[in-house]
Structure 1
């Protein structure tokens, strides 16, 4: 880290330390919501000392209580999601009972009430309508509760369910659950791939080697709620496009469970084949053999009000038929995919001020013939058996009535194996350039092991008197690190190429190739939510440092060491990509009538991109796959290229190592402006309208310095095979052909 970057980061962290010294209160929004308000008498004067009790089965102990401050203000900064009853009591005044107050993850509800002087016969005043509009937060949030997740018609996976979120785009449709075993990237309001953050219980568990993807395949049945933020993201989060927070269910003081089973087959499927498609030779859609989905859960107490557990199991198997693909026994191919999940959460407390949470998730994805098709024969499909593991721990401490401290940490490993099938043996991969069919073996045997650790801490301080306003100060830090070791190997270190079954060429590789890239980040943020009358101002800033490194590594080519120059050692490169960013964020909310029913909001913010481990490996790591293509003359007719006698003319030599990262490369970023209005139409319905404006700047791209625009100098045409239309384009001049392999 250079001196300038270090000075900037230390300055930001020093501001956080100053915030912690306030001694204040922390409102955790990772896996909880909050409730606050002001209690006054019939003259409008503040009532201190009012006892406020929030009761819910979601709370360990059944209820939590607080008393109003000298300004009549009360707060519950961290409430688990669920339905609550609120009791408001003060001797000499008529108590108030409010039922069915729903607290969602990240929701900051405001409930102000007026206490009347008690009559001779005191009775509880039951108020039947609780607010559902958040008049403080200025982010664009959508929360999917357990009921929504369980009852909405969907393919029972997170990506399909999130398509209900306004503005969110998923790249493919998942009809009938065919795609539920494949992770999907998402975007919203024109955000880039690096602008998606996957949180689990509030902790950032986004893969560090591959942007846009989260920690494995959690079962949606194990979620209590999923909170989705699509705009106006505050300074406590790194990314600014799409924040997905998955909150896992917890146990309770009573045992409860769930059993679910779902089944599909081809008799429950239709297609949309019309005459036009039939004329093009399409006679059927992708049929389904069968789909089986089984889910089981159990949660409850180990010790009442002290120790709760929740455990979930899910088995999801889908067997889609593959068109125009036949197994050796004559049966139609299926591209089966199987998911298995075990999720365990433990919650405990020494007392209401000290709470602990532990989460473990283990999952397996099995695809015994991945990518099988009419062009990839069964023996050339991959055997994928990947098993992900997620660990997470969290500690919440209510230090004072106005202080909540949260410390959390997590780790994950997400292997991505593409392995040879057992029947391949020592066979080498073959590909026919005319029929486009691959056979005998997959193109490679590959293993990637994405690994990540993350640690964070947050503190929040409440002050009701400073400068005539109420303040919710919040500050925190985050440290993340990851690496992405990879191994690429191929039988015979080669690939055979044919043309209509006739030996044509052979491609030699420098395998096995084992490489790695590492990245890490340190971040700190401070923000304040300032409430003056009906107006709330949210302002914050985030400082973040990112760095990507390449550790020392070696390549020892196998059979073709003399072609690629023998063993090579690559020195470590620290700070290959490094940047420090400062991200200001601000928002304002106006409760028009002061009754938490109609609120107008606006926000502005800057958001920077992250360094992706795969990006570093694939562009800047010289230790990667090299190849040499030769004409192949099969002199002995054994269908096996004999080196060197049958390797004749060298066609191309591709030796990596010339790719560089532009000096002074800076982080891409986006600026966002939003404006919205929200209106409560009752206790169960609210409507909102939001406008979002986003600009993406300093977008990174690969540039081939050997090919200036003038290199494409020959006018050329091609015919679209589907429409017959002529396509005009410019092709490379002869002096530039093949030069990219030499740069």
Structure 2
């Protein structure tokens, strides 16, 4: 009932705001604003404004108001726009060469002279580069950048030019936290928040018209912009028939590896993964079906490549494992229709489909062909929009679309599907099979209705007000199944993990081996994680301009309902797993986690409530000439909420239990108890799988995690077409979520020593020096035998910390006069104890016990103190175009870790469980990996042939021949102190040394014909 009231209140609020008065640009377009004056500078009302351009279906019109102001919104991005200004008794003014970028407002002021004749004066001037209206900090990746630079033609390469970006991480965020909009529709995977185009499968690269990368200060219209957002506009047709055909090719003979063959052989390294062959062919065509009424644009792209493996050959249990190649066939199709139903109604419809069938998908020096995955991803993106220009001051826009993704990851042909998955914890090799075979199903639907209203002379200025309502439904299914659900941990070639570390004899505390049994089904559909969300949101924003000052004020409200449907987990078929559950778990907890278990639907899984997200921005045109702007933006935004945020709390998810194993009959294989003995290794319990325990898995008082953001920016047009800027950006996470220990009987959280000193017993030890690593004194905590059963609950953790700040210098000279140049430098800090690698829901287990806080505060995974990016294109003699991209990115932080096992005598004296814990010996960032420096270049030459141009290209990737050595340098291992606060004990380091080698210089040749 409470959720229903929240929902109705939200709907009422949004509808009230829409009916009040409304505004601004659409997500996929830009706008022109300006003032028309006479020779004396007096405003001219009633001037007829007409805008035309190759990217615009039909034409757009406006009339100046009493102050001579005009506005033309909803213009597709493109070049060569023209403005025609007409007023009886004055010259006709035609302004040419205007460039419209997505999300940008271009200020074009005009001056008209009196004339009794219908004279037409044509003015061609540089288009402004500084947006003196918006407070958003963003970077525009134009069509000139996309087509000229030596990019890899995938989504990730778009972010190559984004300031502060490391791969798909922006300003220290996880790689899966960036938002994505394609043709106005949300385009992130439902369960993981990954960008849902051009990542796991290819995309129609040549059909991308322009991309706005919003890095901070986003408006209230945007959802899922907390850690940046890419707004992608796809190409449309035009009144002219056009098309292009392209072919890109490289092979192993066009790749150069820095280390010679004898060196690789001596080091027992495989060559870096390089293409045996790789070709990329595409054909695109677009044009009018009905001129000025109905356009089309379509493309088919086929990519096929074969890459050498980078597996490090080895012998395991007498079997030789050699390197192996990987093949990646990819089919991509794209179609977009643009139409004008009436003079004031226009719309688009788009579909994008991509599929792959990859026998060996993953790479890695340690990954045998048996343990790889046969991947088959299928992805569909679709979007449509209708825009109704009700009058010169009112626009109604409806967008609808979504995505569909299906993936299967099954065993390779070499795998043994009936056996275990083997992992050697010392050498790092994995073999046997892929582990569980997996699949996903991820549909999304997104609908947005918005209304825009322009109001002049209200409260001393002009307003562009926009309000809207949005609905989004997501479902994320992740299935997994395995005939023998066993992960068998070896140690340095021995099947007995503990015995191998104890001089070949049974460890008196931990036994012989270490086995992990997964509590999942044996066939497709028998066990899967599933989460469904329905989100309704509303927003209102006002861009309020008083002379040179613009206030961008807005907020959005979002309410989300989450649930997981009831279903049944299939039973294991492995008799050992069933017997272990029956012997050790069922007598205590009443269930066998390896048996069939049925669960009911989980309604209202997460108490999301209504999240209020305020946005405040200020932009000041310092000199009033539209060339220098000072901008401030502040916001509080909810973190992305993929279905994985809560679906993993439901009992039917990927669950497993790890056991110390005593091979009592010494036959080398696990047998049913009591023939062999087993003991849960980490104190974990199946409490989360008991009956309705999942209803307690999320704190009912949990708050939605958010990010507070501040951005200060100064931008200036230094010379025509060249913009420079400096920025200061800060981000801080709040209400951080994590799964932590909770005791139901006392309603008490006990995940740290401070919260439960009687259950976490402190132990001071000195981890011995090893190599260059000095000895370190640390205090960790062991689990008391009096502690309650371990049950993890999702809640806000006040001790969790994540902070980012950066000082940024950037510049951009857009393409004109035969050259373009851009770049940025970021000096940043990213510190805390909440380590996010992919997305925050993947980090919920960061604080699973008290030792999670030991030496945890330090540099975070995407902390890079200095990031430098530089790119450009230049016309050389003989009409040859030279382009380049250079990146310098400081190395990633790391620290020494170790697993500490309690001394048996001390444990008995302090009533402590004999469970070891892995801790940080030193704070993250004590060490850094090597920096990344890379230079890619391109030469291109165009020839006029027939109705079009033939282009010949040569790309050189990694021109400097940089390479990266994969080195196991953290000694890790196990420390068994003889007592407290002593250096005496047994330290067994992990395996150190050279593991892999990546990096090669690669030449790629291509031919492109455009007409």
Contact 1:359 1:391 in 2 (8 A): yes
Task: Quote how far apart the aligned CAs of 1:193 are.
Answer: 6.5
Deviation per residue, 1:478-507 (Å, 9 max, x gap): 111212122211123444555636575654
1:322 counterpart residue number:
310
1:453 aligns with 2:445: yes
| Residue of 684, 694, 699 corresponding to 2:721 | 684
Contact 2:176 2:195 in 1 (8 A): no
Change beyond 3 A, Cα 1:733–1:17 = closer
1:474 counterpart residue number:
466
Contact 2:287 2:295 in 1 (8 A): yes
Partners of 1:249 and 1:583 in 2: CA distance? 33
| Residue of 540, 552, 555 corresponding to 1:541 | 555
| More displaced stretch, 235-244 vs 452-461 | 235-244
Change beyond 3 A, Cα 1:507–1:121 = closer
Contact 1:210 1:613 in 2 (8 A): yes
1:213 aligns with 2:213: no
Deviation per residue, 1:301-327 (Å, 9 max, x gap): 222222211112233344143142489
Task: Quote how far apart the aligned CAs of 1:663 are.
Answer: 3.4
Contact 1:458 1:477 in 2 (8 A): yes
| Residue of 207, 215, 220 corresponding to 1:235 | 220
1:286 aligns with 2:272: yes
Partners of 1:360 and 1:454 in 2: CA distance? 14
| Residue of 507, 510, 523 corresponding to 2:519 | 510
Task: Quote how far apart the aligned CAs of 1:582 are.
Answer: 1.1
Partners of 1:643 and 1:568 in 2: CA distance? 21
Change beyond 3 A, Cα 1:241–1:733 = closer
Counterparts of residues 106-145 of structure 1 (less than 5 Å) = 106-118=103-115, 122-145=119-142
Task: Quote how far apart the aligned CAs of 1:524 are.
Answer: 0.5
| Residue of 1, 14, 17 corresponding to 1:16 | 14
1:257 aligns with 2:243: yes
Deviation per residue, 1:124-143 (Å, 9 max, x gap): 14242332321111111211
Secondary structure of the residue aligned to 2:360 is strand
Change beyond 3 A, Cα 1:510–1:166 = closer
Counterparts of residues 573-722 of structure 1 (less than 5 Å) = 573-579=602-608, 580-621=610-651, 623-627=653-657, 629=659, 631=661, 647-652=676-681, 654-655=685-686, 657=688, 660-705=697-742, 708-709=752-753, 711=760, 713-716=762-765
Contact 1:506 1:632 in 2 (8 A): no
Secondary structure of the residue aligned to 1:676 is strand
Secondary structure of the residue aligned to 1:701 is strand
Change beyond 3 A, Cα 1:742–1:202 = closer
Contact 1:309 1:347 in 2 (8 A): yes
Partners of 1:22 and 1:611 in 2: CA distance? 30
| More displaced stretch, 322-331 vs 543-552 | 322-331
Task: Quote how far apart the aligned CAs of 1:641 are.
Answer: 5.4
Query: Normalising by the residue count of structure 1, what TM-score does the alignment of the two structures yield?
Result: 0.88
Task: Quote how far apart the aligned CAs of 1:121 are.
Answer: 8.3
| Residue of 474, 481, 484 corresponding to 2:476 | 484
Partners of 2:351 and 2:366 in 1: CA distance? 40
Partners of 1:302 and 1:646 in 2: CA distance? 77
Task: Quote how far apart the aligned CAs of 1:293 are.
Answer: 2.6
Change beyond 3 A, Cα 1:131–1:323 = same
Contact 1:265 1:289 in 2 (8 A): yes
Deviation per residue, 1:553-604 (Å, 9 max, x gap): 2223132556326432222222221222111111122223322222222222
2:5 counterpart residue number:
6
Deviation per residue, 1:200-222 (Å, 9 max, x gap): 01222222311353345433322
Contact 2:97 2:124 in 1 (8 A): no
Contact 2:528 2:652 in 1 (8 A): no
Secondary structure of the residue aligned to 2:335 is strand
| More displaced stretch, 430-439 vs 471-480 | 430-439
Partners of 2:518 and 2:787 in 1: CA distance? 18
Secondary structure of the residue aligned to 1:702 is strand
Query: Normalising by the residue count of structure 2, what TM-score does the alignment of the two structures yield?
Result: 0.66
Partners of 2:704 and 2:770 in 1: CA distance? 41
| Residue of 75, 80, 104 corresponding to 1:79 | 75
Contact 2:383 2:400 in 1 (8 A): yes
1:522 aligns with 2:512: no
Change beyond 3 A, Cα 1:336–1:325 = farther
| Residue of 271, 279, 286 corresponding to 1:299 | 286
Partners of 1:605 and 1:253 in 2: CA distance? 42
1:463 aligns with 2:455: yes
Contact 1:271 1:284 in 2 (8 A): no
Change beyond 3 A, Cα 1:299–1:127 = closer
| Residue of 211, 214, 234 corresponding to 1:226 | 211
Contact 1:321 1:335 in 2 (8 A): yes
2:570 counterpart residue number:
556
Change beyond 3 A, Cα 1:613–1:721 = farther
Structure 2's unaligned 5+ residue stretches are 497-512, 522-526, 582-591, 743-749, 793-1011
Contact 2:239 2:292 in 1 (8 A): yes
Structure 1's unaligned 5+ residue stretches are 171-184
